[in-house]
Amino acid sequence: MAKPKRPPQFPTRGEIAKFIAGAEGETSRREIARAFNVKGEDRARLRSLIKEMQADGAVRRAGPKKIASADALPPVLAVDIMSVDDDGDMLCLPSSWEGETEPPIIRLSRKAASEIKPPPGVGDRLLARLSPAGDDGYDARIIRPLGRGAHKFLAVFRKTKGGGVAEPVERRARNKFSIDSANARDARDGDLVWVEAQPQRGGGLARARVREIAGHVDDRAAYSLIALAAHEAPVEIPREVVEEAARVKPPTLDGRIDLRAAPLLTIDPEDAKDHDDAVWAVRDDDPKNEGGFKVVVAIADVSWFVRPGSKLDREAQRRGNSIYLPDRVVPMLPERLSNDLCSLKPDVDRPAIAVEMTIDASGVKRRHRFMRIMMRSHAKLSYGDAQKLIGDRKAAGLIAETVHALHDAFETRWKERAKRAPLDLDLPERKIILNEDGAVARIIRRERFDAHRLIEEFMILANVAAAETLEQKRTPQIYRVHDAPDPEKLNSVRDYLDDLGYSLVKGAPRPSNFNQLLRIAAERGQQEMISDVVLRAQRQAVYSTENLGHFGLALPRYSHFTSPIRRYADLTIHRALVRACGLGEGGQTDEDSARLSRTAGLISDTERRAVAIEREAADRYLAAYLEAHVGEEFSGRIRGVTRFGLFVMLDETGADGFVPARALGDDRFDFIEQRHALVGARTGAYFRLGEAVKVKIVEAAPLRGGLVFEMLSEPREDPDFRPRPRREQGYKPRAKSKAKKRR
């Protein structure tokens, strides 16, 4: 590959990403430094920048010293065959995968597998050449076999006379594995076990051995356990960390501002156990700020209890954040802190770090100040409780007055928000409700009230104030960044929107441009469809020491300050504020400051891990719930299109399932990337991303979290379609027999 022209200054993120994308598969930091003539002390700066790019998903780690483009697997890759589908095609996984989310689907067709002798089977490792095959997959062609793989996967152990059978919980691993008694490691029937494939002689089931026992399938929390184990997330907090938490003491009033008489109150979901933020607002009595407000946001002072370098600190950083599952919360901090000393419970003294913000009549923040306080929550309100008070302006009493003042301040602040025009993706949110036995009782769609928006808006304002203060004080910090959409993704989105009769501005769009699209889509009854497409165009928000701004919120700087009980990022901001504002003990140390770039990468990884775990656990609970509804029809929407089929989300429950392309009808459906559609080669009829459809559930596999649907809706007709000659459609003429050739 030709080297790029060496720039006169340090390379930008875009230049580095372009170089990596142009590399043949993978490259290294040394090759990047050589290409851009980075020398001396700038090498450390380059190393930090590449780590941040890895953290925000711009590039990915492809090995101990290798880096690759994040958007695609390399063209040549070692893969392990995990299962064989009903058509005889083999489903593979990368032999090594650094991502926190599921790896892409890699399909080795039966024809491609037959090109080598003997043909490969489940458990084999191959060096393969990959080609993109849709929104979420690749086709593979074999370069050469590499022997047996050692891919570790989670399975359910079923006891047999000669040992047992392992049934993988990975949704794409359809085959069972035989385990002899010598390799069962005392596993009992129904145990969740980590296994790896073993060499196989002759026919029959592929063989495997148990490496570790993770739990039991009859555990009422098996679905969460599987998701946690599959991503190797820490669950139990070590005893020494719990003991350290038991020894911590709450602070005295010394050095703190006493706000115990102020009517600060918490507003949270009904089932919340930890309350890390409280709010209060009053009209500003300054005649120079007529119509303005003073708003106080108080956040639990976790930095007092969790000191840098302590066992509590190391464990919190290892976890990165709390994980919220249908049946449990896996907390970042021990319960003594998360549910007690750091929780802003009503009518008890609690230490907090507060920011007092003055906003004017147009909603603009004029000034703010941070302080360490002692507070006493005057009420614990649910969002529903707060909304009732918002709607009842005649309600009297201190709590009602405070809620009314908060809402008035929120409406003032909303004016500024309208001018800022952040991305307005109000996507539906669902919650899984379990019964006493741990089974799914129902799925509810969360309502959004002004009470929700009120809290969100004041938390955003407090986060902005934190980022601004640390910049003014020249104190290193971790930003919450959301970069502008990737130009290549935007081009793909434009093609799709053009096909639907929409137009997105050329160049770099602003959030307001996307909002205009959404308003037009709402008028046409296509808001959910276009919302999905707009969401696909966005980059992932991550943590970084480099300020890239927050595109979605339309803010030039933004940091996470408001949830230190459940996010380590917020704890780092609290420590930075304590140091920058001279607020006493527990501030950022020099060692903390030097490690911030590494910390940003770690907590970006743990956040992605938590999102994957929460999604996979929900998928399993939903599959269990819908197992009783196999054979029933549901409305849904196409959320993904690949060469292999369609991913459909059900409207009622939000459950995702798969419709295989081979089951779509008599026509052969081809994937047309520019249209995000499967198009019939013979008829031109199509199924397109975002379309509303009817499906029937034909299979539900709770342990895998998998659902298979049958498509009931007919594909859309294309009036402009003109059939191509059969040869251009991919049909081959039937070969003449040897006898006919001889004649």
| Domain segments of the chain as ranges | 13-69, 76-148, 152-218, 239-475+555-596, 484-538, 630-743
CA-nearest of 56, 53, 69 to 19 is 69
Longest CA span, the chain: 107
Q: CA-to-CA distance for 300 and 308, rounded, in angstroms?
A: 17
**CA–CA dist 553, 482 (Å, integer):** 9
Nearest Cα to Cα of residue 251 among 351, 342, 337:
351
Say what the pLDDT of residue 9 is: 65
Q: Give the CATH superfamily of 630-743.
A: Nucleic acid-binding proteins (2.40.50.140)
What is the SS3 assignment for 412? helix
- What is the per-residue pLDDT for 731? 39
CA atoms within 13 A on the CB side of 513: 15
Given this model, what pLDDT does residue 8 score?
47
At residue 37, the pLDDT reads 85
CATH architecture of 152-218: Beta Barrel (2.40)
At 437 the pLDDT is 86
- Residues with Cβ within 8 Å of residue 140, at least 6 apart in sequence: 79, 92, 106, 107, 108, 112, 126, 128, 129, 130
Least Cα distance to 48 among 348, 471, 478, 466 occurs for: 478
Burial of 40 (0-12, 13-18, 19+ CB in 10 A): exposed
- Give me the pLDDT at residue 256, please: 97
Q: How many CB atoms lie within 10 A of CB 399?
A: 17
Question: Residue 118: is the preceding peptide bond cis (ω within 30°)?
Answer: yes
pLDDT along the chain (743 residues), means of 10: 51 77 70 83 77 66 65 77 77 72 79 83 84 76 79 85 86 77 89 79 73 82 87 90 96 96 95 92 95 97 96 96 94 96 96 98 97 97 96 94 97 94 85 90 89 96 98 97 86 84 88 93 86 85 93 96 97 98 96 93 93 92 94 94 91 93 89 88 90 95 90 90 56 40 38
Q: How far apart are CA 263 and CA 403, in angstroms?
A: 10
**Cα 379 from Cα 395, distance rounded (Å):** 15
**Amino acid found at 192:** L
* Strand locations in 425-551 (E): 430-434, 440-445, 479-481, 542-544
Q: How far is CA 427 from the centre of its chain?
A: 15
- Bridge partners of 325, per DSSP, are 328
How far apart CA 711 and CA 700 sit, in angstroms, is 15
Domains 76-148 and 630-743 share a fold: yes
Nearest to 657 by CA among 670, 645, 643: 645
Residue 398's Cβ-count burial label (10 Å; 0-12, 13-18, 19+) is: exposed
Which residues make beta-bridge pairs with 330? 323
User: Residue 6 has what pLDDT?
Assistant: 45
Q: Does domain 76-148 have CATH number 3.40.50.300?
A: no
Question: Residue 408 corresponds to which tokens in the numbers above?
Answer: 């008035």
pLDDT of residue 186: 87
pLDDT value for 7: 46
The pTM assigned to this predicted structure is 0.80
Which tokens in the block code for residue 388? 């009732």
Distance (Å, rounded) from C-alpha 574 to C-alpha 660?
Answer: 50
Q: What separation, in Å, do the N-terminal and C-terminal C-alpha atoms of the chain show?
A: 54
What topology does CATH give the domain 13-69? Arc Repressor Mutant, subunit A (1.10.10)
